[in-house]
A = this chain, B = another copy of it.
Amino acid sequence: MAIGRGTNGREIRDFVIMKLGGSIITYKNRWMPTLHKDNVKRLAKEIGEAWNERKDLALILIHGAGSYGHVLATLYKALKENEYERKLLGFAEIQRLQNELNAKVCAYLQNHHVPATPVQASASAVLENESLVHMDIEAIKGMVSVGLVPVLYGVPAYDKKLGGGILSGDEIMKYLARKLKPNRLIHASDVDGIYDKDPKKHKDAKLIKEITRENVKEVLDMLSGSAYFDVTGGMVRKIEELMELEGIVAEIINGNRAGYVKRALMGEVGLGTVIKT
């Protein structure tokens, strides 16, 4: 089943890694794994339009687990130390469920002419205390080189220290960003970006439009010092991790706003909070 070489005249000028948060592709509040079909359909359409309009785009997608992962992981953690066989079964079942979620997401993308190709990171990933210490990326590079769009996702993975651990979509994104040096990282989340204070409590909260090496300390101090930190703890860590990379343009945008994902993929910068390193 030869595809042939080259990328069908695609001359890559923009290489993007985009994460679709688990909070926008699933109903995160649901106990049982529940796909947010309306969102996934719309996002697939937006990605499909951008992919087919821009022939200079190379793309890797990553999605979170939302209600496909969190509930099971909680059940898993509730097991007693000696319930070893149950843990093995739980690990296997969570992995299968993530593949099922990924197959659904890829099917919607394929409906919109995106050659969205599942890539199960845990097939080669090795964790150490839930940090990704090794993942083989040759096949992923090869897929991108011929014009495929690899779609990775949060998964349980073998862990040298713990036996098994969670490899989050964020951890995958960080690893790929470091190894593949894309031009842009886009986090499509369920928030508009990072505010100077909690927008749910303060009417005068302002969206921080840009975080750079110049203002990053100020922003982090501000976020860490406020009650808003509880909400954005994950964001603070994300910013710190992004700052470890050189010359990256990352953006947190609201994937729930219609058109934002497409516009971001088309090249628009400034729809949310931009982080330049």
Nearest residue (CB) in B for A164 is B3
Interface size class of A (residues with CB under 8 A): 35 or more
Measured CA separation A160–B120 after assembly (Å):
20
Which one of B113, B121, B164 lies within 8 Å of A1 (CB-CB)? Answer: B164
Q: Mark A148-178, 1 if CB is under 8 A from B, else 0.
A: 1100000011111011111000000000000
Q: How many copies, total?
A: 2
Pairwise interchain contact A138-B146, C-beta atoms closer than 8 A: no
A266 within 8 A of B: no
Which one of A1, A95, A139 has the greatest number of beta carbons of chain B within 10 Å? A1
Evaluate whether A95 and B118 lie within 8 angstroms (CB atoms) in the complex, with A126-B142, A163-B3 already known: yes
- Bound-state CA distance A119–B166 (Å) is 16
B contact residues around A123 at 8 Å (CB): 119-121, 123-124, 136, 139-140
**A residues neighboring B (CB under 8 Å):** 1-5, 8, 73, 76-77, 81, 84-85, 87-96, 99-100, 102-103, 106-107, 110, 113-126, 134, 136, 138-140, 142-143, 146-149, 156-160, 162-166
